[in-house]
């Protein structure tokens, strides 16, 4: 049915900013209702992963041209193109790409969340107040203003609600910036725009803000009422059964501890062709800790069931102290804790629940906990892969948002001759 729909109706054209390895794009492409006109990402391994995915999975033969490797802070070159940059190569720019493929109807993306995250603000001596990433939303807004799409999706962490660089709530700055260029956001973002990816089939507790911004000129009616309908009826209709860690990763090949002294591999390779499924190296000390903690997690009366107990264990085993506990064993019958980019440094807070394997999770396991499909190949070093997965929007959440946005546009967009969304027939789930 979806293929027949596509034959009758052209796709809605999107632009992905701060695209990363393509979690948002993956979800939008999965629906079959959208065309990715272009994407922008400054990290080369992430950009290459997305371009490869669009080419190999979704048939974009010109994906190398569509996915731009560039720093979004340099707006003029991003729009007009650049040549022979020592770091970013060459590109015809967004304006030329849009002229080739048609006007942008929806912009998606979300600036880096580190400046807004509560954990990041706690670790930084200035509470991230001096971090330039606080204001990258202004570049996002400039691109929105330039292309004037009907709507945009802005994804970020709930910590944005409490971030106050310069003493001014960042969420107020964001709302005012978009209002000045003719776009509305829901008035009570904290009440309506917070979602948990676990409610959308992602086997992970991952709370995020999903901001739908709408161009006032493109819609009839009160923007606040329209947005409230999106958050209270349309998006929640796409919720699905929660999925556990065991359901997500228990069928993957297991690894045995390598007992050979002096080996550069802490775990013996498994007979598998599954891409990105290789354990990182662990010291004998860490293997012993992982085994002990994974066994303890299965006991009724746990020894390490408090932050203080885990901090004490860390000090006993390493001789170091930490203000936060370093260890966390995934619980097989529950959702994973949040998959974060810190995984590229170590996996101490994402320990596999099987004591016999005594290891942290692999890149493929992290990807599954983020709901990436197994045919999604991550490029770059293992560290690059962990980082891009931790920074990504879970594709299943993105798919739910994408289908919800299409319903919203179909039902509310003022009919125009140049729109590609009016005749989509997507049933609202019961």
d(CA 115, CA 132): 8
3-state secondary structure of 36: strand
Known active-site residue 21? no
3-state secondary structure of 358: coil
Which is the catalytic residue, given 30, 40, 113, 351?
A: 113
Six token digits for residue 168: 């001014």
DSSP conformation class of 277: -
Where do the DSSP E strands lie in 170-247? 183-184, 194-196, 207-215
Closest to 189 measured CA to CA, from 201, 177, 199, 174: 174
How far apart, in Å, are the Cα atoms of 429 and each of 201, 235, 330, 400, 404? 15, 10, 32, 11, 10
d(CA 129, CA 50): 31
Q: Give, to the nearest 10 degrees, the angle between helix 382-391 and helix 44-56.
A: 80
d(CA 93, CA 70): 10
Residues known to be catalytic: 113
């Amino acid at each position: 049915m979806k293929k027949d729909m596509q034959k009758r109706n052209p796709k809605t054209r999107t632009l992905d900013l701060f695209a990363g390895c393509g979690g948002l794009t993956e979800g939008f492409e999965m629906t079959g209702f959208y065309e990715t006109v272009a994407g922008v990402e400054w990290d080369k391994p992430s950009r290459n992963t997305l371009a490869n995915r669009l080419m190999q999975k979704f048939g974009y033969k010109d994906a190398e041209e569509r996915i731009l490797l560039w720093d979004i802070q340099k707006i003029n070159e991003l729009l007009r193109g650049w040549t022979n940059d020592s770091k970013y190569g060459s590109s015809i720019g967004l304006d030329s790409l849009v002229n080739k493929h048609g006007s942008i109807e929806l912009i998606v993306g979300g600036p880096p969340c580190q400046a807004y995250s509560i954990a990041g603000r706690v670790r930084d001596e200035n509470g991230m107040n001096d971090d330039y990433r606080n204001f990258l939303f202004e570049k996002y807004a400039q691109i929105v203003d330039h292309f004037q799409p009907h709507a945009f999706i802005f994804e970020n962490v709930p910590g944005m609600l409490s971030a106050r660089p310069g003493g001014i709530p960042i969420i107020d700055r964001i709302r005012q910036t978009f209002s000045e260029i003719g776009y509305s956001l829901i008035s009570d973002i904290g009440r309506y725009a917070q979602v948990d990816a676990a409610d959308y089939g992602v086997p992970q507790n991952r709370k995020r803000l999903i901001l739908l911004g709408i161009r006032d000129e493109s819609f009839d009616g009160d923007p606040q009422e329209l947005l409230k309908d999106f958050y209270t009826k349309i998006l929640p209709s796409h919720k699905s059964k929660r999925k556990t860690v065991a359901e997500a990763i228990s069928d993957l090949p297991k690894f045995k501890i390598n007992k050979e002294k002096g080996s550069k591999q802490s775990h013996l390779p498994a007979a598998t062709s599954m891409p990105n499924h290789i354990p990182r190296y662990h010291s004998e000390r860490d293997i012993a800790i992982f085994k002990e903690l994974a066994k303890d997690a299965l006991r009724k009366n746990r020894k390490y069931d408090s932050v203080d107990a885990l901090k004490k264990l860390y000090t006993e085993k390493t001789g170091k102290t930490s203000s936060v506990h370093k260890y966390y064993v995934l619980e097989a019958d529950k959702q994973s804790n949040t998959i974060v980019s810190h995984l590229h440094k170590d996996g101490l807070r994402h320990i596999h629940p099987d004591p016999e394997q005594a290891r942290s999770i692999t890149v493929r396991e992290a990807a599954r906990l983020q709901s990436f499909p197994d045919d999604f190949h991550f490029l770059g070093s293992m560290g690059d892969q962990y980082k891009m997965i931790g920074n990504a929007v879970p594709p299943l959440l993105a798919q739910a948002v994408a289908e919800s946005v299409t319903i919203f546009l179909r039902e509310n967009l003022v009919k125009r001759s140049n729109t590609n969304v009016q005749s989509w027939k997507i049933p609202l789930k019961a």
